[in-house]
Chains A and B, each alone.
Chain A
């Protein structure tokens, strides 16, 4: 008996040491995923400010509805509705995000009341002319990336895991991303995006984190800076309502005609 305990005492710390940096990276991603699961649904408003290199600004207003999908390896369902500018008011995009499979996407064109199926390979394309690509806005699924923990370091007032992740899905615009995740609450503080030439393309900085339902952290501000063009986009999210009672029927393509 003592022998067994002695062996265990040897093995347990050893196995912790034996965890590779890849395993540690994956572990952090899984922890982050677990921490964010169980929210069921939420809605929020978004104000997106696009700024070009000359400092000229364009402001878009949207609202978003998200429904949690609990199946393993599957992403959430989300609906993004444009409120302003007036010419795109009522235009809506419905996305079923998946792990490695391409997302399913539908666009609603209010002028003709048409629900149009979209090609989902357009991952690296800009969203509404912003610095956010479609894949940057896709709901996080652990299976979408392979991970590698690089180091721990201070990030502002917090301590962060620095984890590199490599997209495993097709048609990504990135060869890799480096993420800073705070060790305490697993909030994503910063992401560096490296393009296919492995040059630093963009940096996303998230701030103003707020806690909802005592469990779910959401950033108020996400600022994406393009280092090549000097353009930036600031996305400010507000009015988060968790547990709004959204139903799967509200995320059917057919339901897009009800969007306002």
Chain B
């Protein structure tokens, strides 16, 4: 990124902030803060290069497979296994910040104010995590800093949002396929539910034909990745790779998105179009990036893409039917992917107040085996809601690759302790991981995480 564009953006944000704070200052808003004390424990040491019984090619094959899953073309990877070995060996000797115990602390303040008869509001949510093990996981972000204003009449209302905001699109549970506006904060959690704040101007029109959302996204955020000392990373930390953009505008390329959505009585539908910088980077090689630390010249490329997607939810009795599908086009790839499934609820099971929701979903990706995590995967899940005064919930989900039977299991538990304290537990297991599966990068990274959350 050039210094000029950076300055320019900072200036813009500064002006916006001043304008908003001036207006908001007339009335004191409300502050609240959440502090999470996290402890992540990995059962096994990080994956290392085996020293006996494997040829270099075999050793690096898993990473090679991983690169393919990240979009690397098979044609220019002949030299990669050796090169990768060299990098991972050098990263491994710098060693080994990669431990088994990872305490960290999150501080997440939140400010909200509204004025002019609730037609205007401003919210500000910075985010900070300090991590004991991985300095890439120690990071800060502005999740939200947005001014929302309501306009028009009761019959013809529209809404404008300017600032940094988060947007969710989607229907499925096993992955958030069509959700494309915000970049993934991957270093937070590999479940892709943590997102970086996205600078945007968003106009929303509501009529009886539905809701139309128009997005102008003037600034791109790079994905975060676990660093050399971090866990849940492939043999080579993607955070160490140089980054390139297909567009000469780089991060200041302006992206656009349009979404129409409508709720019919028992069906919710959304159709979206996105044109701009792909949030998913592609791993590629180029001579210009070759260094002793990176002999293969690996780099991350953020390409231009266009994506058309649909997401749908339909309710029928105790059943909820879900569908998400997209078609994505880049200069290097064009593919379609989908996830479809059902949710079935058992209310008041065994004469208790407990509710159990069960999930079954199928994921498809036309890029095929080894090229995408969700290329032909079945998801089975359950959510137990105790409906008690502590809001106790237990979630369990298993994703199984139908081709190589690689299994990824996630268990989540949450419960309120007092008015100001909550507890969460999260377990993530990778089982019978095939060497050709993209999840192979995480094969030694099964973990348990406990969190104590204090609200101020």
Residue positions of A touching B, CB distance < 8 A: 50, 52, 58-59, 84-89, 96, 101-102, 104, 106, 112-115, 117, 119-122, 124-126, 128-130, 171, 173, 245, 247-249, 252-255, 258, 260
Q: Determine whether the beta carbon of A128 is less than 8 Å from that of B455.
A: no
Q: What residues on A are CB-neighbors of B121 within 8 Å?
A: 258, 260
User: How many Å lie between the Cα of A253 and that of B391 in the bound state?
Assistant: 23
Q: What residues on B are CB-neighbors of A115 within 8 Å?
A: 168
Which residue of chain B has the shortest Cβ distance to A50 in the bound complex?
Answer: B389
Q: What residues on B are CB-neighbors of A252 within 8 Å?
A: 206, 211, 263
Which residue of chain A has the shortest Cβ distance to B387 in the bound complex?
Answer: A126
- Which 6 pairs across A and B sit closest by C-beta, in order of nearness? A86-B455, A129-B389, A249-B206, A247-B154, A119-B345, A58-B389
Q: What residues on B are CB-neighbors of A258 within 8 Å?
A: 121, 148, 159
Tell me, rounded to whole Å, the shortest Cβ–Cβ distance linking A201 to chain B.
12
Q: Are A125 and B206 CB-contacts (below 8 A) given A117-B315, A258-B148?
A: no
Q: Which B296-347 residues sit within 8 Å CB-CB of chain A?
A: 313, 315, 317-320, 343, 345, 347
Tell me, rounded to whole Å, the shortest Cβ–Cβ distance linking B425 to chain A.
15
0/1 per residue, B243-277, Cβ < 8 Å to A?
Answer: 00000000000000000010101101000000000
Q: Determine whether the beta carbon of B266 is less than 8 Å from that of A104.
A: yes
Q: What residues on A are CB-neighbors of B455 within 8 Å?
A: 85-87
Q: What residues on A are CB-neighbors of B315 within 8 Å?
A: 102, 104, 117, 119-120
Tell me, rounded to whole Å, the shortest Cβ–Cβ distance linking B215 to chain A.
14
Q: What residues on B are CB-neighbors of A125 within 8 Å?
A: 347-348, 353, 355, 387
Query: Which of A89, A119, A247 makes the CB contact (< 8 A) with B320?
Result: A119
Q: Determine whether the beta carbon of B34 is less than 8 Å from that of A86.
A: yes
Q: What residues on A are CB-neighbors of B148 within 8 Å?
A: 258
Q: Determine whether the beta carbon of A254 is less than 8 Å from that of B345.
A: no
0/1 per residue, B420-436, Cβ < 8 Å to A?
Answer: 10100000000000000
User: How many Å lie between the Cα of A120 and that of B265 in the bound state?
Assistant: 12
Q: Can you identify 15 A-B contacts, CB atoms within 8 angstroms? A: A50-B389, A84-B419, A87-B416, A87-B453, A101-B265, A117-B171, A119-B319, A119-B343, A121-B317, A121-B318, A121-B345, A125-B355, A245-B154, A253-B263, A254-B211
Q: What residues on A are CB-neighbors of B193 within 8 Å?
A: 112
Q: Determine whether the beta carbon of B387 is less than 8 Å from that of A129.
A: yes
Tell me, rounded to whole Å, the shortest Cβ–Cβ distance linking B168 to chain A.
5
Secondary structure call for the B interface: strand
Q: What residues on B are CB-neighbors of A128 within 8 Å?
A: 389, 391
- Contacts A125-B348, A125-B387, A260-B114 known; 8 new A-B pairs at CB < 8 A: A52-B389, A85-B416, A101-B265, A102-B315, A102-B317, A113-B167, A122-B355, A125-B353
Instruction: State whether the Cβ of B370 lies closer than 8 Å to any Cβ in chain A.
Output: no
Instruction: State whether the Cβ of B157 lies closer than 8 Å to any Cβ in chain A.
Output: yes
Instruction: State whether the Cβ of B44 lies closer than 8 Å to any Cβ in chain A.
Output: no
Residue positions of B touching A, CB distance < 8 A: 32, 34, 112, 114, 121, 123, 148, 154, 157, 159, 166-168, 170-171, 193, 204, 206, 211, 261, 263, 265-266, 268, 313, 315, 317-320, 343, 345, 347-348, 353, 355, 357, 387-391, 416, 419-420, 422, 453, 455
Query: Which of B114, B265, B391 makes the CB contact (< 8 A) with A104?
Result: B265
Q: Determine whether the beta carbon of A247 is less than 8 Å from that of B157.
A: yes
Which residue of chain A has the shortest Cβ distance to B193 in the bound complex?
Answer: A112
Q: Determine whether the beta carbon of A124 is less than 8 Å from that of B348.
A: yes
Q: What residues on A are CB-neighbors of B343 within 8 Å?
A: 119
Q: What residues on A are CB-neighbors of B317 within 8 Å?
A: 102, 121
Q: What residues on B are CB-neighbors of A173 within 8 Å?
A: 348
User: How many Å lie between the Cα of A119 and that of B358 in the bound state?
Assistant: 12
Which residue of chain A has the shortest Cβ distance to B343 in the bound complex?
Answer: A119
Which residue of chain A has the shortest Cβ distance to B194 in the bound complex?
Answer: A112
Q: Determine whether the beta carbon of B391 is less than 8 Å from that of A88.
A: yes
Tell me, rounded to whole Å, the shortest Cβ–Cβ distance linking A93 to chain B.
13
Q: What residues on A are CB-neighbors of B357 within 8 Å?
A: 119
Q: What residues on B are CB-neighbors of A130 within 8 Å?
A: 389
Q: Determine whether the beta carbon of B168 is less than 8 Å from that of A114.
A: yes
Q: Determine whether the beta carbon of A129 is less than 8 Å from that of B313.
A: no
Q: What residues on A are CB-neighbors of B353 within 8 Å?
A: 125-126
Q: Are A253 and B347 CB-contacts (below 8 A) given A84-B419, A112-B193, A128-B389?
A: no
User: How many Å lie between the Cα of A130 and that of B168 in the bound state?
Assistant: 30
Q: What residues on B are CB-neighbors of A50 within 8 Å?
A: 389
Q: Determine whether the beta carbon of A129 is less than 8 Å from that of B388.
A: yes
Which residue of chain B has the shortest Cβ distance to A127 in the bound complex?
Answer: B387
User: How many Å lie between the Cα of A85 and that of B166 in the bound state?
Assistant: 23
Q: What residues on B are CB-neighbors of A248 within 8 Å?
A: 154
Q: What residues on B are CB-neighbors of A101 within 8 Å?
A: 265
User: How many Å lie between the Cα of A130 and that of B353 in the bound state?
Assistant: 11
Q: What residues on B are CB-neighbors of A129 within 8 Å?
A: 387-391
User: How many Å lie between the Cα of A253 and that of B388 in the bound state?
Assistant: 26
Q: Determine whether the beta carbon of B420 is less than 8 Å from that of A86.
A: yes
Q: Determine whether the beta carbon of A114 is less than 8 Å from that of B355.
A: no
Q: Determine whether the beta carbon of B168 is less than 8 Å from that of A249.
A: no
User: How many Å lie between the Cα of A252 and that of B261 in the bound state?
Assistant: 10
Q: What residues on A are CB-neighbors of B34 within 8 Å?
A: 86
Tell me, rounded to whole Å, the shortest Cβ–Cβ distance linking B161 to chain A.
9
User: How many Å lie between the Cα of A245 and that of B155 in the bound state?
Assistant: 12
